Amino acid sequence: MGLGEYALMGVTHPTELRAIMNFAIWRDVRDIKAESEWVTTYYDRPTMKKCWEYLDLTSRSFARVIGELEGDLARTVCIFYVVLRALDTVEDDMTIPNSTKLPLLRSFHEKLYEKGWTFHESKEKDKIVLEEFDNIQQEFSTLEPAYQTIIADIAKKMGRGMADFAALATPEQPVAEVDSIADYDLYCHYVAGVVGEGLSRLFAASGKEREFIADQLTLSNSMGLLLQKTNIFRDIHEDVLEGRGFWPKAIWSKYGFNSMKELIDPSREKEALWASSEMVLDALRHATDALDYMTLLKCQSVFNFVAIPAVMAIATLERTFMNPKILKGNVKIRKGETVKLILKATNPRDVSYIFKDYARRIHAKVHKEDPNLLKLSIACAKIDQWAEHHYPSFINISGAGSGQAGSAIDPTSNDARAALFLRLSKEAQEKLRKERSEKFMADLRARGVIKERSPEEEAAIKAKYDEMEKQGAPWLMIIGIILGVIALMGAMGAGVIWVIVKFFNDVSGNWDFDADSR
């Protein structure tokens, strides 16, 4: 970005410019190239340096979040990513015939153990990861056996799943269409859901996360599907032009389309936007699972690695929702907005509020004629409800940055729950005060400071007080006390006057003023 673009941002989106400045000044970014980091990143090793370069070439966004993972986990995930990037490149390349592609996809996991293997028949932009796969294989072989097992297992699942879908293609239709929503979910599971599973297993194996994270298959799958479906939705124009089509036929056929190519026809923009609306609806159903998954993470760098792509996904869905530009080209969120989200996505509460905010923006864009109006309203409300249930907005958090975070109910909130919580809190405090008072009195009785009275004594005292209440106030005694006080005050006043007069006379008698004296 040039100086002029930053100046324009300062006028149109000042908070985003401020976020970029804060990021540049205050954000601590791990430098994997630094010599102090070589002990875990192995950037000084030629083959590992190549792997880091492959990662940066194929995905700049993921390269940044992967590089900031703690310790050797960054290197492990880097290798995991470039292995799957190589596998994905085989699947994406429409120039590779199925006679070559299918066997290679199904056996790709075996190439991880085949020293020196490379592939030079791809024409994809990321073909370097196949042509120089021997560098990736070399680094894979140096990983701990537990990591190798996980990566090879995920590559096996992904490759076989990709092959099953690629096998449905025909010469007349080079790209197999995804028919039902179930097929769409299964395809996204193979290309992204298993990635989420693999990452969870790597997190657990590294010790950075608790062991049970490895078993969260449903939530891990949903994390992957949210990201994958966002990319599939956003990349509609590019995919159609390159002969790929991943929007399920069950969605676009509802709106009178016979093929995916018709979706980018300018004359049918309205129907295409209705179809795109349903694609967003389908992606949103994974949002709350993704939020659930993030609440389970305890390592900050792992949380950042998961949360940053997630908030980018929900922001992308909002930016592309009912946006006709996606039918004509690629639509991305602004750089300043990206940086702002990175700075904010540091804990589950703030991430849930980001999701809630963008869900409300999506809901605000829903057209009254949209066939999915009601379903979209419910989907957005579920995200809002999740955030309010787990992190109520009427509770203020203070001191979070100092490590001594505290919470308090906002007394000015109009939320009915705030009044209820305040009342319950007051009742609980009163109950506690009463219990402490009773405990204190019981202790005094036990020590003999306060003597216990017999039932007869208690009854006599009670009868005495009851009799006094019946008789009313002792007015004569009260009047006598008042008159006595008045008489006492009068006597004291008279005494003071006498003392003053006596003292004045004595003093004046000692002075003899002579008018003629000089």
| Terminal Cα distance for the chain, rounded | 102
Q: Which secondary structure element, helix H or strand E, spans residue 295, and what is its range?
A: helix 287-295
CA distance linking residue 115 with residue 315, whole number of Å = 42
- Written as one letter, the residue type at 34 is A
Q: What's the gap between Cα 431 and its chain centre?
A: 37
- What sections of 112-213 are H helices per DSSP? 128-131, 133-140, 145-166, 181-188, 194-206
Decide if 417 is catalytic.
Answer: no
45, 244, 268, 349: the catalytic one is: 244
Rg, C-alpha atoms of the chain: 39
Are 238 and 94 in contact by the 8 Å Cβ rule? The answer is no
305, 321, 355, 394: the catalytic one is: 305
Long-range contact list for 216-219, CB < 8 A, 24+ apart?
216/293, 216/296, 218/289, 219/289, 219/290, 219/292, 219/293, 219/296
CA distance linking residue 165 with residue 187, whole number of Å = 7
CA distance linking residue 196 with residue 338, whole number of Å = 22
75, 85, 234, 319: the catalytic one is: 234
Pick from 231, 226, 236, 225: nearest CA to 272? 236
The DSSP output letter for 326 is G
- Which residues make beta-bridge pairs with 410? none
CA distance linking residue 377 with residue 360, whole number of Å = 9
Q: What angle do the packed helices 60-67 and 46-58 form, to 10 degrees?
A: 130
CA dihedral (108, 305, 46, 59) positive or negative = positive
54, 80, 187, 394: the catalytic one is: 187
Decide if 27 is catalytic.
Answer: no
Decide if 268 is catalytic.
Answer: no
Decide if 85 is catalytic.
Answer: no
CA distance linking residue 111 with residue 487, whole number of Å = 114
Torsions phi, psi of 407, nearest 5?
-130, 150
Q: Which residues are catalytic?
A: 187, 234, 244, 305
